[in-house]
Amino acid sequence: MDTLAEVARVVNACTDCQLHVGRTNAVPGEGPDGAELLFIGEGPGFHEDRQGRPFVGPAGNLLEDLLQSIGMTRDQVYIANMVKCRPPDNRDPVPNEIAACSKYLDRQIELLDPLLIVTLGRFSTARFIPGQSISKVRGRLRRIDGRHIFPIMHPAAGLRRQEMRAAIEEDFAKIPGLMDVLRIQSEPASENAQIREAAASFQPAPSDQTRSLWDVLAPSEQEDAAPLPEPPTIDETERPNDPPPGQQRLF
């Protein structure tokens, strides 16, 4: 599988787990070859299975609204899923299905080599950050195995509960800034020395592979903050033309 199109061809013919039995269409994923941003969902639902395209139902509409809120459209990003065929009745994918299907997502990530991976919900988040609850890890950038991972809650959760939607919107709003920082980090010739320095210092320690980029940026921002200048002092003896008593000095 040397191209994303070839991955899609193999997926469309795949029978490597039992999910192939009930599918109408496999949903390999879609987006331009050069996409900087990769979204990873869980698996196709009813509408996705019918159309063979990811995130085209209600959760997809919310994803498109969220993209619009950061000035992007879905044709600028790559959208993939953990499993490429719809689990019956929208049940959760089971470990052997995720394991059978992971070779396709692995290859998509390698071929795309995205600047930023946004994991939507607990299944795709667990692929990179196992054993942690999504509510704990969401909204913080991590570098894991050389990839930048930004977990957020699944849009379907945002459709069910307003407070989840607010959290998703809050996290989504951080994406453009993160991409700016990551672009600077990948371009050493940048003119912004301060951010470049902070970004360059973001090397996860061996004992802490999932350190947050903000954990690195925030302290250096504090250190670099210049102390507030002292207010100018006025030499009382040099004040010319003091106003007469009862009048206010204007200048």
Q: Catalog residues that contact ligand SF4 under the rule CB under 6 A.
A: 11, 14-17, 19-20, 26, 83-85, 97, 100-101
Q: In the chain, which ranges are continuous DSSP H helix? A: 4-12, 19-22, 46-51, 58-69, 95-112, 122-128, 134-137, 155-160, 162-172, 175-186, 193-200, 213-224
Distance CA 77, CA 118 (A): 11
CB of 223 to ligand URA, least distance (A): 41
Distance CA 59, CA 40 (A): 13
Q: Is 132 within 8 Å of 52 (Cβ atoms)? A: no
Q: Cβ closer to ligand SF4: 103 or 174?
A: 103
> 17 in helix, strand or coil?
coil
Q: Build a one-symbol-per-residue string for 35-54: x at contacts with ligand URA by CB under 6 A, - elsewhere.
A: ------xxxxx--x-----x
11: partner contacted, choices ligand SF4, ligand URA, none (Cβ within 5-8 A by kind): ligand SF4
Q: Cβ closer to ligand URA: 120 or 198?
A: 120
54: partner contacted, choices ligand SF4, ligand URA, none (Cβ within 5-8 A by kind): ligand URA
CB of 90 to ligand SF4, least distance (A): 14
SS3 content of the chain, % helix, strand, coil (to 5): 45, 10, 45
Looking at residues 64 to 123 of the shown chain, list those that interact with ligand URA (rule: CB under 6 A): 81
Kindly state the tokens that stand for 202: 């973001």
174: partner contacted, choices ligand URA, ligand SF4, none (Cβ within 5-8 A by kind): none
31: partner contacted, choices ligand URA, ligand SF4, none (Cβ within 5-8 A by kind): none
